[in-house]
Chain A
Amino acid sequence: MVKSTDTILNIKNVSKNYDTNQVLDNVSMSFSKGEIVSLYGPNGAGKSTLVKIICGEENADSGEVMLNDNITNFKSYSDALAAGISYVPQEGGLMENLTVLENLAICLKNNLKIKNFNKKAIRSLIAEKHYFESLASLLDVNVVLISAYEQQLATIFKALMMDSEIFIFDESTTNLNPTDFVKFKEILIDLKKGGKAIIFISHKLDEVFDISDTVTILKEGKVISSNKIQEITKLEILNLFKSKLEVDLHKETNNLTPLCEIQILKAELNQSEFYLSKGEVLCIDSNDTVFKYQMGYSIYEELNKVKGLKVGLIPALRDSEGIFPNLSVEDNLLLNVINQSKFRKSTKKDEALNNIVTELKLKFENWRQNILELSGGNRQKVILGRWMLTDFDVLVLIEPTAGIDIESKTIIHNLILKLRKDGKSFVLITSDQGEQEMLTTRFVSFKNDFKEVC
């Protein structure tokens, strides 16, 4: 354990159970001023629960959180914010019907207690912060109209404007591209120099190694190691989770039968035209994240118009576009096949469902369980499983593994590779460089106004 005189936040023997499920088991750690600590581990390891306890959004069953040697007793996040803890969640955190500026104004007004707080004052306050440049043109745009990635930036900036002592980033970088991540890193280094404590959660190991001073690894609710970043290697961490790709990556692109032509007629998407073959993973790439995502949704719509072609979509936002939060695990899986008579026979249905569970290594307690009780990685597996039950020809994948742990990620990658060998086609849109290299058999990349096909 790292102990220093600059310790600002101390977590002592914190445990937490949900019903019979122990999420945190006697966790202790400390965070110091001017230090970036990464929490790393698979989904369900307890990282998010831990930061929620720090922020007062959840209560620990036992143990305590000490801020500057005082036991915190936060009733909600607003108490934590008042005490100098800023929290950036993975999704949400902005009011969609308001503009970016109004969102900032409300947050600042509630927390900085500045009087005479008008839009002009906020604008000048924002102008002082150099990192806002990238959002300058979007200040008066409603949040619902900006992309997931821009929303994430705005959420990060909103947190940065609070002059907190501790900043927590929970999967805040999933939608950032490498260039933005470099800027994000600069901001963090500034904060670090200013003596702030930073807790960083990411599933991207490269980011973790790029950014942190200390990496603390959680598994099944326990701290299994905590090291200075110089003292540990990526390989050592990966070995802790024993994940390996099972399928070797032959990228045999010959002998492919053409499946269909895709014509995108939307002007804002360059009116492009390309083809898709059986058994390939076509990667649509662009340095413009928003453009890339729009392409994904448009391709899905276009493919849907092709007669006799069964097309599926894994959307970018797992929770707000993918799952049905009011339905059980079983219903979420069966939704696309429930109108087929063969899935009404319980033996057939059970067989198909059990196959999915083994193939995806889906972790859950029972079929009637609500989908929201599953971890992020398992929710994403359910969305993939839903399409696997159908006899799809093409699956459009938009950020299929964003924000999920390395184990789930490997499982999903292996499945895509296997399905591809079975002759299924995929259209892939991802910000994950490694994923792109591993899965893709052919690229269509867009740069500014030109289309390059390789």
Chain B
Amino acid sequence: MLKKIKKYNLLVMLLVLIIIFGIINPAFLQPSNLLNILTQNSIIGIVSLGMTIVIIIGGIDLSVGSIVAFCGLVLALLLTLNIPLIAALLITVVVGSFFGLINGVLIKKGKIPAFIVTLGLMSAIRGGGLLFSNSKSISIGGSELNSILNTKLFGVSFSALIFIVLSIGLWYLLKKTYWGKYIYAIGGNEKAARFNGIQVSKYSIIVYVISGLMCGIASILLVGSLNSAQPQAGQLYELTAIAAVVIGGASLAGGKGSIFGTFVGVLILGVIQNGLSILNVPSYYQYILVGFIIIVSVLIDKNYNTK
């Protein structure tokens, strides 16, 4: 019962925000604007999905923003070299997954704390991207990719659809497969997981690979929507993603969190940003409000947990 209240809690928060913004400015409530929020946040949303499972196993991934930027540059470069779109997309997600693999192996096999490893890779990958792009953006012109991403299905953009499909996919993985149970078990008690024969390293590394993969996919949407790749893209993605995951009810200690929560968390952040921009409120108010929401949502969560 309490769990249900907690789930609704988050939805109530989202609805209250939507209603408040709607009352102040009815333009906010137009379906096109609401769908726009989903589209605008699909990139950070996909990154947050990967971050969710990383946080559930008790880890952290600070390198997401740098991986998004790097993968974007790789994709743009490949497209300017006239490599077939499908091949370019595949290579992009492989590069993202590969960075995730490096993270996972260093953390689990090298036994270095996740914070340190991903902080290191955040800096190194950003530097690598700047190096190979000569710190210039790479334009891909009016590409095939852009027109695909602009297609709409029942009024929903392709980006938003990908975000929704990936959310459902990861939700299924976490809630309906033994794989997901193992992830929760490792996050809850790694020692006990080991004593029950769960291959902790293997599953943890896979989790980081998935996080890298999500960054690769996010970079495709980013490059497609901007028609170019920026070496400075994706700055502060890690913090926004962590914020969305935490608002969604995850615990940085591991073992707790859900895709549903993160999905709503992403929307809460998106609604605040969109709503305040429509009202022409300066962006520093956004920061204040977001900070407030992060702390309040964890506070509510804690109080429900300790009865």
Contacts and interface: CB of A to CB of B under 8 A. Distances in A.
A325 interface: yes
B255 interface: yes
A326 interface: yes
Q: Interface majority SS on B: helix, strand, loop or mixed?
A: helix
B7 interface: no
A334 B181 CA distance: 10
A39 to B, nearest CB: 25
Contacts of A278: none
B162 to A, nearest CB: 29
Contact of A326 (B184, B195, B198): B184
Interface in A293-346: 300, 304, 312-313, 315, 320-327, 331, 334-336, 338-339
Contact of B196 (A320, A325, A326, A336): A336
21 contacts: A300-B195, A312-B196, A315-B192, A320-B189, A322-B192, A322-B195, A324-B184, A324-B185, A324-B188, A324-B192, A324-B193, A326-B187, A326-B189, A326-B255, A326-B256, A327-B181, A331-B184, A335-B181, A335-B182, A336-B196, A386-B196
A322 B187 CA distance: 14
Contact of A323 (B182, B184, B189): B189
A326 B305 CA distance: 11
Contacts of A304: 197
Interface residues of B, number: 17
Interface size class of A (residues with CB under 8 A): 20 to 34
Interface in A323-375: 323-327, 331, 334-336, 338-339
Contacts of B284: none
Interface of B: 178, 181-182, 184-185, 187-189, 191-193, 195-198, 255-256
A307 to B, nearest CB: 14
Given A326-B256, A331-B181, A313 B189 contact: no
Contacts, number: 54
Nearest to B188: A326
Given A324-B184, A326-B256, A336 B189 contact: no
B192 A323 contact: yes
Contact of B185 (A312, A320, A321, A327): A327
B178 A338 contact: yes
Nearest to A336: B196
B189 A324 contact: yes
B109 to A, nearest CB: 18
Given A320-B191, A324-B184, A335 B196 contact: yes
A444 to B, nearest CB: 22
Contacts of A336: 196-197
B35 to A, nearest CB: 35
Nearest to A300: B195
Given A335-B196, A386-B196, A325 B185 contact: no
